[in-house]
Amino acid sequence: MASRKIAVIVGSLRKESFNCKVARTLMLLAGPELDMEIVEIGKLPLYNEDDDANPPPVYTEFRDRIKGYDGVLFVTPEYNRSVPGCLKNAIDVGSRPYGHSAWSGKPAGVVTVSPGAVGGFGANHHLRQMLVFLNMPAMAQPEAYIGGVGKMFDGDTLSNDATRAFLQTFIDAYAAWVERHAD
């Protein structure tokens, strides 16, 4: 199995983000078939269609970078039953101009993370709706809603064995999903 380059998009900008900790845990658990790296989204200016004719260089750099990956893993919190604005903005920047989406065809995985009990269910499904439009085949199973995350880490280290085992199952399934769907 060839090594596949995977963009990890974290939907939280918080310095001590649980989402980033979960993303880094998934990166550690991934086998050699996945070459994963976090792609920062916090410095992207808000998307404005007026900029399509002459996009800010950061838009072009982001789009070109996403095009270079074989798949995308989204790890995000839930804000108001949806994805955070920074993630929605990154999706919009990468999908424009219309007909030139950097996301198209890339196999996707979705993990939502929350200190609450529901584990970001609303954000998970709202993001999946966007992935359909973006032509990104989204892995259906296992679904990944990590609730109660505030009690699962000792510093940056995941201390919850059951969650670690689940994340191992998830990342193994995602590796197989990418291999099945990547060009």
Domains in the chain (CATH in brackets) are 4-181 (3.40.50.360)
Give the model confidence (pLDDT) of 38-55 as tens digits. Answer: 999 999 999 999 999 999
CA distances from 113 to 60, 92, 126, 152 (A): 29, 22, 14, 11
Which of residues 1 and 97 earns the better pLDDT score? 97
pLDDT of residue 118: 86
Percentage of the chain with pLDDT > 70?
Answer: 99
Give the model confidence (pLDDT) of 23-34 as tens digits. Answer: 999 999 999 999
pLDDT of residue 1: 55
Lookup: tokens for 76? 């995000």
Q: For the chain, give percent helix, strand, coil, nearest 5.
A: 40, 20, 40
The pLDDT of 13-30, averaged and rounded, is: 96
Residue 154 has pLDDT above 90, yes or no: yes
pLDDT of residue 137: 98
pLDDT of residue 178: 98
Q: State the pLDDT confidence band at 182, using cuts at 50, 70 and 90.
A: confident
Query: What pTM was estimated for this model as a whole?
Result: 0.97
